[in-house]
Amino acid sequence: MENKDNRRIKKICVIGLGYIGLPTASMLANHGYYVVGVDVDRERIRRIKNGNLNIKEPGLKTLVSGAINSGNLKVKTTPENADAYIVCVPTPVKWENNSPKCNLSYIYSAIESIKPYLRDRNLIIIESTVPPKTTERIYRYLNDGRKIYMAYCPERVLPGKILKELVENDRIIGGVNKESAELAREIYSSFVDGNIYLTDSTTAEMVKLMENTYRDVNIALANEFAKICEEINVNVWEAIDLANKHPRVNILNPGPGVGGHCISVDPWFIVEISKNAKLIRCARELNNSMPYYVCDLVFKELKRREIENPKVAIFGVAYKGNVEDTRESPGKNIIECLTSKGVSVSIYDPYVKTFEYPLESLKECVTKGDVILVITDHEDFKNFKEEEIREIYDLMRNKIVIDTRNILKHDLWRKVGFYVKLLGDGK
């Protein structure tokens, strides 16, 4: 049994209180650390203090309020002296002369904000996803005579299951040296039930990128299969299901494109550092082409029926099922592409609260619509009952459904009278 009094680290500053930083800060506070949560966004700090979080994640509200009420978590806009600093700020991709590059500006400003507080034997952990060798570079920059420790500890939690996975997932800890990795292990072992593996920081950075790249490339393969199956009148879903009966094959699902903060972004950080990343670039480009491929399916149906002044009802703009997160959602590109061709769109997403385009109720969304385009695999869409489908049918002008996720109960929709097209069904 771990004795808290033996811990070398007692106070931790977590920089960046978003999807990753806030659960991590609260988890640490609930495991006996004194935690200062820092975010430059004043509104975010105010909301956390009021218990009015803008992150919808099961159990998070209770965890955060428990941490604050215990006195172990305080949140503010500036860092302060601590034994360890954990950096969880965004690392989006930016484009320079048509080449992808990780935007490290948030990381650099977080590092500058903690620099005045750093003392000998402090530990800095980067959790944000970064290109290989970033941690080493920051370590060299900060190690100006002070004896500091530094590690890279990637986060691999699944939105929607963050609290469960924070505890249960195995963790990789990459130290700039062995002492740093050991010290970081002390922190994570306070709440992680999974195995903890120690390595060097550059390997850990590469591991994180390889995990998401593996998924991106696999999805790209599924998407390419979908396009090919469409050409040769084969149902890709049936074909993948049968191929996956092979004991060593596991093809993922095709879809309208890859979104979110990780899988659609992280592979670019490998492309950025190596000319050898040809397959990875190609997979990224293929996945980015899917929203336009989906729009072509819509245009084909509209043209076939000579529908004038068409209206498409978009079902789902979250980047994946059962979350409210719309970052990098393929829905955005689909909406832009449809509207640029004169198609009007209405959007229904029962999970999303704010979006660049107006959101409507289910009824408003489908009224006088011609096509329902299912983009997100929300549970709510799977569970439409026959009476609900009939109501939708009565409100629509034309009765077409295009399901890019294979989640609707197609037989039921067909029974009601809809024409149902499934992405990659070869029909």
Q: 35, 12 in Cβ contact below 8 A?
A: yes
Closest to ligand NAD by CB, 88 vs 277, is 88
Closest to ligand NAD by CB, 159 vs 291, is 159
Is there binding between residue 100 and ligand NAD (CB under 6 A)? no
Residue of 262, 311, 399, 421 marked active site: 262
Tell whether the torsion through CA atoms of 30, 35, 38 and 42 is positive or negative.
Answer: positive
Contacting ligand NAD (CB under 6 A), which of 15, 68, 226, 416? 15
Q: Which residues are CB-contacts of 140 (< 8 A; sequence separation ≥ 6)? A: none
Tell whether the torsion through CA atoms of 395, 398, 399 and 402 is positive or negative.
Answer: negative
Is there binding between residue 171 and ligand NAD (CB under 6 A)? no
Task: Identify the three-state secondary structure at position 288.
Answer: helix
CB of 253 to ligand NAD, least distance (A): 19
Task: Determine the Cα–Cα distance for residues 304 and 294; give it in Å rounded to an integer.
Answer: 16
Indicate if 61 belongs to the active site.
no
Residue type, 89: V
Q: Which residues are CB-contacts of 197 (< 8 A; sequence separation ≥ 6)? A: 170, 171, 172, 173
For ligand NAD, the binding residues in 250-289 under the rule CB under 6 A are 261-262
Contacting ligand NAD (CB under 6 A), which of 129, 264, 326, 333? 129
Contacting ligand NAD (CB under 6 A), which of 62, 70, 81, 109? 109
Is there binding between residue 113 and ligand NAD (CB under 6 A)? yes
Is there binding between residue 384 and ligand NAD (CB under 6 A)? no
Closest to ligand NAD by CB, 155 vs 324, is 155
Binding mask 291-330 for ligand NAD (x = CB under 6 A): ----------------------------------------
CB of 291 to ligand NAD, least distance (A): 21
Task: Determine the Cα–Cα distance for residues 93 and 295; give it in Å rounded to an integer.
Answer: 25
Residue with the CB atom nearest ligand NAD in the bound state: 18
Closest to ligand NAD by CB, 152 vs 237, is 152
How many Å is the maximal CA-CA distance in the chain? 75
Contacting ligand NAD (CB under 6 A), which of 9, 14, 27, 88? 88
Residue among 211, 207, 167 at smallest CA distance from 191: 167
Strand partners, 373: 314, 402
Q: 415, 222 in Cβ contact below 8 A?
A: no
Is there binding between residue 19 and ligand NAD (CB under 6 A)? yes
Q: Where are the alpha helices (DSSP H) in 31-69?
A: 42-50, 60-69
Contacting ligand NAD (CB under 6 A), which of 27, 35, 38, 280? 38
Selected range binding ligand NAD among 88-96, 140-148, 170-178, 186-194, rule: CB under 6 A: 88-96
Closest to ligand NAD by CB, 32 vs 321, is 321
Spacing of C-alpha 323 from chain mean position: 10
Task: Determine the Cα–Cα distance for residues 289 and 390; give it in Å rounded to an integer.
Answer: 34
Closest to ligand NAD by CB, 23 vs 310, is 23
Q: 413, 389 in Cβ contact below 8 A?
A: yes
Task: Determine the Cα–Cα distance for residues 157 and 219; give it in Å rounded to an integer.
Answer: 19
Residue of 88, 153, 208, 295 marked active site: 208
Indicate if 74 belongs to the active site.
no
Q: 377, 320 in Cβ contact below 8 A?
A: yes
Active-site positions?
208, 262
Contact positions vs ligand NAD (CB under 6 A): 15-21, 38-41, 44, 88-91, 106, 109-110, 113, 127-129, 155, 157, 159, 261-262
